Amino acid sequence: MATVSLKKLTKSYGPVAVVHGIDLEVADREFIALVGPSGCGKSTTLRMIAGLEAISDGVIEIGGRMVNDLPPRSRNISMVFQSYALYPHMTVRENLGFSLKIAGAAKEEMDRRVAEASGILDLDQLLDRRPSQLSGGQRQRVAMGRAIVRDPDVFLFDEPLSNLDAKLRTQMRTEIKKLHAKVQSTVIYVTHDQVEAMTLADRIVIMRDGFIEQVGTPDEVFRRPQTRFVAGFIGSPPMNLHEAAVDDGQLLFASGERLPLPSQFKANVGTGDKVVFGLRPDDIYPTGHGISSGEDVDVHQLELPVTVTEPLGNETLVFAEFNGSDWVSRMLNPKPLRPGDRLKMSLDLSQAHLFSAETGKTLRG
Partner 1 sequence: MDQNCLHRVRNKALGIAHGVGLFLAMLVICLPGIWIVLSSLRPTVEIMAKPPVWIPQQLSLDAYVAMFSGVGKGGIPVLDYFRNSLIISVTSTVIAIAIGMAGGYAFARYRFRAKSAMFLGLMLTRTVPGIALSLPLFFVFARLGIIDTHFGLILVYVALNVPFTIWLIDGFFRQVPKDLAEAAQIDGCTRWQAFWQVEFPLAGPGIASAGIFAFLTSWNEFALASQLTRSINSKTLPVGLLDYTAEFTIDWRGMCALAVVMIIPALTLTFIVQKHLVGGLTSGAVKG
Contact flag: residue 5 with partner 1 (CB under 8 A): no
Rounded Cα gap, residues 353 and 239, in angstroms: 10
Contact flag: residue 72 with partner 1 (CB under 8 A): yes
> What binding mask, one character per residue, do residues 99-138 give for partner 1 by CB under 8 A, x or -?
x--xx-----------------------------------
Contact flag: residue 69 with partner 1 (CB under 8 A): no
Contact flag: residue 63 with partner 1 (CB under 8 A): no
**SS3 (DSSP) at 280:** coil
Q: State the minimum distance, in angstroms, from the CB of residue 95 to partner 1.
A: 9
Rounded Cα gap, residues 279 and 269, in angstroms: 17
Please pick, from the candidates 5, 78, 191, 194, the single residue that binds partner 1 as defined by CB under 8 A: 78
In degrees and rounded to multiples of 5, residue 237 shows phi and psi of -65, 160
Give start and end residues of each alpha helix (H) in the chain.
Answer: 42-50, 92-103, 107-121, 136-149, 166-183, 194-200, 218-223, 228-233
Identify which range of 85-93, 107-115, 206-214, 357-365 contacts partner 1 by CB under 8 A: 85-93
Instruction: Specify the residue, 154 or 259, whose C-beta has the smaller distance to partner 1.
Output: 154
Contact flag: residue 77 with partner 1 (CB under 8 A): yes
Among the listed residues 178, 180, 183, 159, the one whose alpha carbon sits nearest the alpha carbon of residue 34: 159
Q: State the minimum distance, in angstroms, from the CB of residue 101 to partner 1.
A: 9
Q: How many residues bind partner 1 (CB under 8 A)?
A: 22
User: From its phi and psi, is residue 14 left (phi > 0), alpha (psi between -120 and 50) or beta?
Assistant: left
137 and 168 Cβ atoms separated by less than 8 Å: yes
Contact flag: residue 140 with partner 1 (CB under 8 A): no
Rounded Cα gap, residues 188 and 346, in angstroms: 40
Q: State the minimum distance, in angstroms, from the CB of residue 79 to partner 1.
A: 5
Chain-centroid distance, C-alpha 82: 16
Contact flag: residue 186 with partner 1 (CB under 8 A): no
Contact flag: residue 46 with partner 1 (CB under 8 A): no
Q: State the minimum distance, in angstroms, from the CB of residue 89 to partner 1.
A: 5
Sequence-separated (6 or more) residues with CB below 8 Å from residue 363: 265, 268, 269, 275, 354, 355, 356
Which residues here bind partner 1, judged by CB under 8 A?
50-52, 71-73, 77-79, 81-83, 85, 87-89, 98-99, 102-103, 146, 150
